[in-house]
Homo-oligomer: A and B are copies of this chain.
Amino acid sequence: MEQIKQYIDQHRDRFLDELFELLRFPSVSADPKYKDSVLQTADYVAEKLKQAGADNVEVCPTAGYPIVYGEKIIDASLPTVLVYGHYDVQPPDPLELWKTPPFEPTVRDGKIYARGACDDKGQFYMHIKAFELMMQTNTLPCNIKFMIEGEEEVGSNNLGIYVKANKERLKADVVLISDTSMISMENPSLETGLRGLSYLEVEVVGPNRDLHSGVYGGAVANPITILSKMIASLHNENNHITIPGFYDNVSVLTDDEKKALNSAPYDEAEYKKDLDVEELWGEKGYSTFERTGTRPTLEVNGIWGGYIGEGAKTVLPSKANAKISMRLVPNQTSDEITKKFTEHFEKIAPKSVKVTVTPHHGGEPVVTPTDSIAYRAAQKAIAESFGKEPIPTRGGGSIPIVALFEAELGIKTVLMGFGLDSDALHSPNEKYDIFNYYKGIETLPLFHKYYAELSK
C-alpha cells in the first residue's frame, strides 16, 4: 500500500495533466460533427497505453468508431483481468448551463469539471495509471488486457461484432469496469447489479400538415394532446407502469437482500434538498433505493412538437414526438420489453392519429454474485484502501455490454466504480472528484493483487 501511495505522489501532477488532455477531446459519439475528435481520442488512449507498458497496442477499426486494445501477458498460467472502458462521451448540451466549457477541464473545490470527467474518462484512465504503477513497481500479479471502445453512449453496436470476432484474443477470467458510483468516500460501496435498458422513439401524426388552430381547433385531433394522453396513461395512480405483462418476469428481492439494500445510508431530506424538490415520486410500496435499483421504470427523455421558438404561434401541429426509455431488472429482457411497449403503444393510439414506434439500442439487466472470487477481491481491495467494508448496492443505470461479455466470453464482470451520484453524469457541469481519481488508482492494484491471490 505504501509503495502504491509513494508512486502516486511522485507522479501526481502528470496523472492529472494526462487526464485533462484526454478530457479536452470532444469525443461525442452521438453527433457526427465530432468525428475527427473521436478518432483522435482513440489514438491518444493507444499512445498512453503504450507508454504505460502495454504490448500489442492496437486501434482496431470497426464499422463505427475504433476499439483500443492492449495487453500485458506475464504468465499464461496466471489469471487474466480484462479491463473495459469507453473513451466516447455524452453530448454536452445544453451548453448555456455549463459554468465552464465542457471540453476545457476546470478544477473547482477539488473537483474536475468536464464532460466525461467521470463518465467514463476519469474512471477508465485510473486503470491505465494503475497499470503503469504496477509495471513500474514490478507488482503486476496477473495478466491484464484492455478494451476501450468509442460507442458506449450510442449503444456499443460494433462491440458485439468485435468481441465475437476476437474471442481468443479477449480470453480472460473476469471483466473489470469502472463506470459506476459509490455511496460516498466515507461509505464505499460495490455495485452488485445493473438495470437493463429499452429505448424507443415514438411519433404521433395527426393532420398531414400544421394547421391554423383557429380554423381547425376543436375539429381535429391535436397530436400533442394525444401523445400527452398516451404518455399519461403509462403510469397509474400508484406510479405503476400499465403496459400489459411489463412486470411478468421481474424477480423480487429476498428479505435479506432488501435489508442489505436499505441499510445503505440514506438521508431523504438531503436527497430532496440536493435536487431542490419538495416531494419525491415513485412506485408506491417501494423505498428510494428499491425504486432506482430493483424496480423497472419508464421515463420520457425528450418530447417535442409544434412551435417551440420565441413568442406565440397559434398552430395545431401535424406531429408530436417523444424519446422514451425503460430501465429493466432481472429477469426482464430488452427485446421482450421493447416488444410489449410497442404493441401496447400502437394499441392505445386512437384512430384519429397514426403512431410509429422506432426502437433504439437496448441492454440486459445483470446481477454480480457476491460470493465470486472477483467480488471478494474487490471487496478486500476496498476494505484495505478505505479502511471499511464496501456496502453492496444495486445500480440504477445500465451498462449493456456486461450481459454481452457473459454471453460471448462466458465471464462475469466486477463493477468497481469510484464516482459519486453528484457527478452529474449526462448533465451539464459533470465532474469527478480529484480525491476519487487518486483513490481509484490506489485501490485498483489491490484488486489485481487479491484477485491473483484468491485465484490460486
Contact = CB atoms under 8 A, between A and B. Distances in A.
The 7 closest A-B pairs by CB, nearest first: A214-B397, A221-B281, A302-B306, A218-B297, A232-B232, A208-B276, A218-B291
B225 A30 contact: no
Interface stretch (A169-177, A336-344, A420-428): A420-428
Contact of A292 (B219, B282, B310): B219
A280 B353 CA distance: 9
Contact of A303 (B304, B314, B396): B304
B279 A154 contact: no
A44 to B, nearest CB: 24
12 contacts: A211-B426, A212-B425, A216-B292, A219-B281, A219-B288, A220-B275, A220-B282, A228-B231, A299-B314, A301-B313, A302-B313, A302-B317
Given A301-B307, A421-B215, A277 B221 contact: yes
Interface string A366-400: 00000000000000000000000000000111100
Interface string A301-343: 1111111111111111100111101010000000000000000
Interface residues of A, number: 97
A72 interface: no
A144 B395 CA distance: 75
A408 interface: no
A311 B279 contact: no
A224 interface: yes
A101 interface: no
A426 B210 contact: yes
Interface of A: 30-31, 90-91, 93-94, 97, 154-155, 181, 195, 197, 199, 206-222, 224-225, 227-229, 231-235, 275-283, 288, 291-292, 295, 297, 299-317, 320-323, 325, 327, 350-354, 360-361, 395-398, 421, 424-429
Given A302-B306, A427-B210, A352 B225 contact: no
Given A207-B277, A212-B397, A351-B279, A314 B197 contact: yes
Given A31-B310, A277-B352, A350-B279, A300 B207 contact: no
A330 to B, nearest CB: 15
Contact of A361 (B227, B312, B395, B426): B312
